A and B are shown apart, each in its own frame.
Chain A
Amino acid sequence: MDSMLVIKDIWKIYDIGGEKLEALRSVNLEIEKGSFISIVGHSGSGKTTLLSVIGGLTEPTRGNVSIEGTDVWSLNDAGLSALRNEKIGFIFQFASLIPTLRVVDNVALPVIFHKDNHGDVYGRAEKILSALGLSKKLNSFPSELSGGQQRRVAIARAFINKPAIILADEPTGDLDAQSESEVMDFFSEINEKEQTTFLLVTHNMDLAGMTDRIYHMRDGALLD
């Protein structure tokens, strides 16, 4: 099968007041297209930093990341923006909606940055929101939603540009057990139907248990 993500010897070292902090230590990973995997670890183990490096948000100290054969960190700013917009769907661990936009606008937002800004964007947004149980909240503003609803809107937004890979950081953090289950079912459905690759980082072992493969992280190192 084709490789979706290849990580080679990634290091991320922070210099904090002259003291070197190794957030990532020689991380290597190869994920095939359509994989549904999770990385678990305690807080501070480097999960979020790894996700950030993979997604082109934090530059590694050294090492390579390639997504569908594209060397992420050899791209210029415009190239990185296009990669994030077209191939990656981010789900952050905090409520990450634009407060001045309606729910449906928030979901449609990444499309305006897409080079091919056409088609029935709002129809697609409504469809995804409906699948996540938010069909009655399309015109609401984020401040009118509960934390769990906001989280589901952010999840819906990650899928609007039909990304090749979803990078999710504690994607069900604000959700109750039932909503968590519904969201994971939605992920599985997309994974199966569209061969979208999922990389979830979490400290929730139950959530990780729903994925096809679990990796562990400890002190910046990735363990099988």
Chain B
Amino acid sequence: MRIYHVALKEVSKRKIRTIYTAIGIAIAVSMLISVIITASSGEVEIFRVIARYGHSLTIMPAETKSQQSLKTFGIGTGSYIPEDAMPNIEKTYQKAIVAGWEKMGQLTFQEGTIGGAAFPPPTFAPRLYEEATVKGSDVIVGGVMLEKELISRFWWEISEGKFMANDDEVILGKLFAVITETKVGDILEIGQSKMKVSGILNETDSPDDYMVFMSLKTCQKIFGKHNKISMINVRAMCPKCPLGDAAIAINKEILGVRATSQSEIATAQSQIFQKTAALLLSFVVASLIISAIGVFNIILGSIHSRLRDIGLLKAMGASRSQLIRLFLYEAALIGITGGIIGFAIGTGLSYVIGPILFKDIVIRVNPLFFLMAIILGTLTTIAASIYPAIYASKIKVAEAFKSL
């Protein structure tokens, strides 16, 4: 028999006290675990959203100030990027992103993998803008690669009809369709070509609402702009991507273009989420401290009710350090019990809370969280038991035995 056997028997025989004490710890641990699991799972979800929608780069032709002043909302005509420059731009971008990751020293870059989570490759969506007069109204015609555009403009939705499937089809912005009273199936004359309206977009509250979209190839052909594009929108598709580095590299290495990063909002969103999670954690830590105070009171009360036992152990020859060990072993066992219960409850809670806070969240329970729950429960009870254990070890036998 060893001292920890005595502690184990004490804890297992005094079930009500053990469970009562462990529940105090379990509640705090469960809150912590549920916050950690929900936050970590939610962060992955947020990263995915930010990866898809948040981080973007706009690449436009480098222009003089007078050229820029002619444009509204960043769109316009008159200056172009050669379409065959796109592979070079993509190559420069990728190289800069890899270098950026390596410079941060955080992650080993692998194709399609950021920090162990799989993310799709970046999307380069080119557009060609041309001015035209359609049904008597001046309008900007946008040539797009639909497949890439739907990733870049993820908010696009068709309100009537469908997206264009053929080179002789167009889709219209809602505002343009309403003003010109155009319907799905109508034929529009654009340049020298007749184009069929295949669909009308939902309102987007952007310049897209007063535009006509067709395939890039058709647009280049109608307006005689072979191999020319007006801009490229790059969706980074990964969180925390060093887009600034990529923009600098493109501006430096590709002549005639200007790349601008739009990652600040996404970064700010991510930081707000992390700060909110940190705030929640601080509340949980506070509850852990309150639990520790509860454990402290229970252990101290338990010592008072076991004065005679403590005196007996001292009379049998238990030294102060042995008594302290005995009480700390008991505390550790209660902490382990509380940690296990807390982990189970916390994991269950995260399955309830997670989907409420984050749509489409996938709860990920890292085995390390189990270890964390046990360590936390154990350390909390041990910390709360140190003073009571020292107090117990100082009790004089004669004081413990009123009968002696």
Contact = CB atoms under 8 A, between A and B. Distances in A.
A132 B309 CA distance: 23
Contacts of A94: 401, 403
B165 interface: no
Interface in B139-183: none
A113 B397 contact: no
Interface in B268-322: 308-309, 312-322
Nearest to A98: B309
Given A112-B6, A113-B316, A57 B401 contact: yes
Given A52-B398, A58-B404, A98-B309, A105 B317 contact: no
B103 interface: no
A93 B403 contact: yes
Interface residues of B, number: 27
Contacts of A157: 316
Interface in B310-341: 312-322
Give the contact-size bracket for chain A: 35 or more
Nearest to B9: A100
Contacts of A108: 1
Interface stretch (A62-70, A81-89, A187-195, A210-218): A81-89
Q: Which of B2, B308, B312 has the most CB of A within 10 A?
A: B312
B189 interface: no
A105 B320 contact: no
A78 B318 CA distance: 9
Contact of B318 (A81, A86, A100, A121): A81
Contact of A92 (B1, B9, B404): B404
B317 A114 contact: yes
Interface in A94-138: 94, 96, 98-101, 105, 108-114, 117, 121
Contacts of B401: 57, 92, 94
Contacts of A110: 316-317
Contacts of A109: 1, 6, 313, 316
A198 interface: no
Interface in B1-22: 1-3, 5-6, 9-10, 13-14
A85 B401 CA distance: 18
A46 interface: no
Contacts of B6: 98, 101, 105, 109, 112
B316 A90 contact: yes
11 contacts: A48-B403, A49-B404, A58-B398, A85-B316, A90-B315, A92-B403, A99-B13, A101-B9, A105-B9, A114-B317, A157-B316
